[in-house]
Structure 1
């Protein structure tokens, strides 16, 4: 089984429990006693008992086989107990990996955990646990059962053992050669299923955007294409079962045909009738079932094990791994608008770092979008830059000045942060808009309203002198008011922390474009990938840590960014062409 670390992880899990594996092997040897003795005892029962007219002797030999079967059955119970000692600790290790890699967001302060990824990974752990146990059982069963049967055949007649081993080996070689292709098709089927799930989820969760943008046909076509891809992958995987059948035919049934055809020649060489029958017993009761279990187990559960464990290892990282990165070099010349140097931050002394050894420099006038899954540190970064929270280690500078040394008034003059939940107070619209810039005249205010697409809202409310009741405004309207207020502020740095999430895509694009043309530096904590497409520079928090670059650069470098783009592809593309959407109410 290939894949990133799958083989190494499996081997490490087995080596870590060498004693338990050795116990499993010992009981497996006892369990394989019937496979070792069946043919020999049947041959003795026929040749020395029934064909010689000694019925009691024949029954005695068969009674010995019954004893071997009972011993094997008793050992089977011990085999499963030993299997649990091997499998369960491995399952616990994977569960701990998932807990450290995916559940830490659910325990940190202020987090809004999403249980779906956690449930999905937990389900993957259970799949790995079950398929790992099945994989150990079928491989162990084949090695001991087939090995015992071949030893029994050697004891009967080395020539017979060679006649049986040759087609068995051919069948195994054919199956081993087909395994990489089977694994690739299994991986394609899993990815197609995940892509279908993402596409359907996007269509459902973004149905308002889809309807508003008139993208129904495009969205249906996208989901239909994903359904077709998944169906094609399923059909291809089903066709691969023909290779399993070929392997079983060559390795399991061809030895029977060879023995039957060679029986007259073997008898002429002096082989007894009982020995020929015993050889057939070895093939039909031991080798065939063992090969069938191996091929079906590896071709089914084994492939699921490799693909699922691969997904877990790619999604989660060991708990000792820090989220450290240096997303970009210092700008050449001049004082950066924002500089973070070796910043580490965690919510509580025992919590896992949200940022670890993180460094970043933004030149004056930069337009940065920060994207990534929920809980990866985007809002934490916004809070650090805005001076609302202090790093555990490292420094944050705004315009060359350390944030830790700035007073409230000095900090307000350097940056303005617009959070997701916009604050609007009871009073005139003009007072709300001039809250951070009391000297702005009506012309400046009206220009800002027009540039951000909020002039229609101002007219509906009754103009700048109208009294605003926050309870009568929708979430999107409150965000528009807060956005215009920040636009008028004199601070050179604006941080939009999902500050447009309640706006439709077109109005969001209008607001972000206005801020991008505004003198100063813009940082957008994005909830739609279209915000990243509009930015000159993108910082993505993914499974490999923070990475930065342009939209096209990250498409090539970051699997996590490609997943985000794929998730929003249909909605973002449709939203790019819409021009008739107003701020939603409620």
Structure 2
């Protein structure tokens, strides 16, 4: 249904160009009606009757029809482009929008490889859409011209032309589902092959160093072989297209020739027979061939490409109040979570148990590289643990669909993501249509009022390259503040702010309805938090600041170094 809606919307939004396309199609299709008429009359009324000038006049009329068709063809191409190019822009916005949404909600940054693959699908959809419009329109106008022309010559001939055409179309339509299935498999196989080859090239040094050449080559080879098998299966279906073209395009010629004696007895002239054959050979058969090729290849590619674009770039719709699977009170629980970056690597997180109640404010501290950001990525669902369970609202993170996960948590990483667009679009990207007063409240709470005024207000265009790291962090923090997520994860998301601005932002989130987890880069974040999770590489301890000072030597050491005065010599 989504694919059909996309196509219908692309046509419905360009009515003026569609009218122009139909108008010029009449001119382009002029030879479809004029060819048989001109040949029949040139023969019967001209050359066969001893009036060569009359025959030449009819042929001149046919030449004029072809000139009109040439002018019409140019205008038709321009009209098709006017419909297809906005369609391409719509698809690109959908792809980029979906990518931006995933980047903003996951904190993982944009997946440039996925964008490149989807951009290829967009270009494929654009080209296929234009080709389908061209061939379907040409076929319909050609069939109408041929039917009217044959009826004008001799109505008794029409069944000999139309019945085989209907049979050929039926054979072609019956083969379309199998073509669509194989074309879909081929696109997926191409993506898998591209991904496996890219991964192999990126890790070539590691593959060689580990002696894994044979294993990696076997994996890539399987993907290549699967793509080749799918391509061969799709190629075999061309036989169905050839059969439908033979039945619908060439069988009418044989039937007309076989019925010629009977038609002559009924009054058909040589011009009528030759004109009918001209209609079939010069108009109907080429139009059917273009339709079979265009829809059988480009039409199938169009549908499959749009399905891929819709599936992989869709943004989760905002859930209606009370419709999300998660309860309002989010409870985060980690049970025996272990994670390592690689099957043989030492665990970064080992057997971690943690419970964070709704409304809690937790700071995660520890030395650099100890795994603090890994904890945030695990909770956000970006990474999957080797063992153990992570539950939000009692539901395993892996079981939540994207819409529920996005409404349950938001992660702001150290390098905040801002996209080209208005400031308002950047701030409300994750929100459920907030009012301007709600935006004002969030902007004031996080501390970006001066920045919003300096940028020119919510309608001002934002160029990320012209913003400092701290300004991008303020925009991302306000975006997270406006989101419906009950769990906010700040992974050093204030590291580019000065201490006062950092304190204001964290206090804003602490006062916001929900749960806050801060990956601390300054120990002042731990002092502001209700509880502290101390990670020391062998175990993790959680408690209040006072409890951690008493129980954790590492925490005391970190606090002592932070609180020690810096002395300078005079």
TM-score (norm 1): 0.60
1:317 to 314, 317, 342: 314
Aligned to 2:179: 182
Q: How many residues align?
A: 402
How far is 1:126 from its partner? 1.8
Aligned to 1:415: 532
Aligned to 2:426: 351
Residue pair 1:336, 1:398 contacting (<8 A) in 2 also: no
Give the distance between the partners of 2:47 and 2:67, measured in 1 at CA.
23
How far is 1:265 from its partner? 1.1
Give the distance between the partners of 2:525 and 2:301, measured in 1 at CA.
57
| Alpha-carbon distance change, 64 to 489 in structure 1, aligned in 2, over 3 angstroms | closer
Say which SS state the counterpart of residue 541 (structure 2) adopts.
coil
| Alpha-carbon distance change, 349 to 276 in structure 1, aligned in 2, over 3 angstroms | closer
Residue pair 1:323, 1:353 contacting (<8 A) in 2 also: no
Matched, 1:383 2:490: yes
Alignment of 1:326-475 (within 5 A): 328-329=326-327, 337-339=356-358, 349-351=424-426, 356=431, 382-383=489-490, 395-397=513-515, 408-410=525-527, 414-416=531-533
Say which SS state the counterpart of residue 491 (structure 1) adopts.
strand
Aligned to 2:67: 70
Aligned to 2:451: none
Matched, 1:45 2:42: yes
Aligned to 1:14: 11
Give the distance between the partners of 2:114 and 2:332, measured in 1 at CA.
43
How far is 1:490 from its partner? 3.0
How far is 1:258 from its partner? 0.6
Say which SS state the counterpart of residue 514 (structure 2) adopts.
strand
Alignment of 1:118-157 (within 5 A): 118-157=115-154
Give the distance between the partners of 2:105 and 2:324, measured in 1 at CA.
24
How far is 1:120 from its partner? 2.5
Residue pair 1:338, 1:385 contacting (<8 A) in 2 also: no
Residue pair 1:338, 1:398 contacting (<8 A) in 2 also: no
Residue pair 2:331, 2:357 contacting (<8 A) in 1 also: no
| Alpha-carbon distance change, 151 to 333 in structure 1, aligned in 2, over 3 angstroms | closer
Matched, 1:295 2:292: yes
| Alpha-carbon distance change, 96 to 319 in structure 1, aligned in 2, over 3 angstroms | farther
Which stretch shifts more, 381-390 or 300-309?
381-390
Residue pair 1:323, 1:354 contacting (<8 A) in 2 also: no
Give the distance between the partners of 1:237 and 1:489, measured in 2 at CA.
56
Aligned to 2:362: none
Say which SS state the counterpart of residue 350 (structure 1) adopts.
helix
Give the distance between the partners of 1:25 and 1:266, measured in 2 at CA.
36
Aligned to 2:199: 202
How far is 1:75 from its partner? 1.6
| Alpha-carbon distance change, 106 to 407 in structure 1, aligned in 2, over 3 angstroms | closer
Aligned to 2:245: 248
How far is 1:11 from its partner? 1.8
Residue pair 2:160, 2:256 contacting (<8 A) in 1 also: yes
How far is 1:266 from its partner? 0.6
2:220 to 213, 218, 223: 223
Give the distance between the partners of 1:267 and 1:217, measured in 2 at CA.
74
| Alpha-carbon distance change, 221 to 183 in structure 1, aligned in 2, over 3 angstroms | same
How far is 1:187 from its partner? 0.5
The runs of 5 or more residues in structure 1 that have no matched partner are 358-376, 417-435, 437-482, 494-586
The runs of 5 or more residues in structure 2 that have no matched partner are 334-353, 360-406, 413-417, 433-479, 495-501, 545-570
Matched, 1:257 2:259: no
RMSD between aligned residues:
4.0
Aligned to 1:367: none
Give the distance between the partners of 1:163 and 1:41, measured in 2 at CA.
21
Give the distance between the partners of 1:119 and 1:331, measured in 2 at CA.
36
Deviations 1:516-553 (A, max 9, x none): xxxxxxxxxxxxxxxxxxxxxxxxxxxxxxxxxxxxxx
Residue pair 2:136, 2:291 contacting (<8 A) in 1 also: yes
TM-score (norm 2): 0.62
| Alpha-carbon distance change, 354 to 492 in structure 1, aligned in 2, over 3 angstroms | farther
Say which SS state the counterpart of residue 53 (structure 1) adopts.
coil
Residue pair 1:196, 1:227 contacting (<8 A) in 2 also: yes
Give the distance between the partners of 1:344 and 1:332, measured in 2 at CA.
15
1:238 to 222, 235, 240: 235
Deviations 1:417-472 (A, max 9, x none): xxxxxxxxxxxxxxxxxxx6xxxxxxxxxxxxxxxxxxxxxxxxxxxxxxxxxxxx
Aligned to 2:397: none
How far is 1:343 from its partner? 6.2
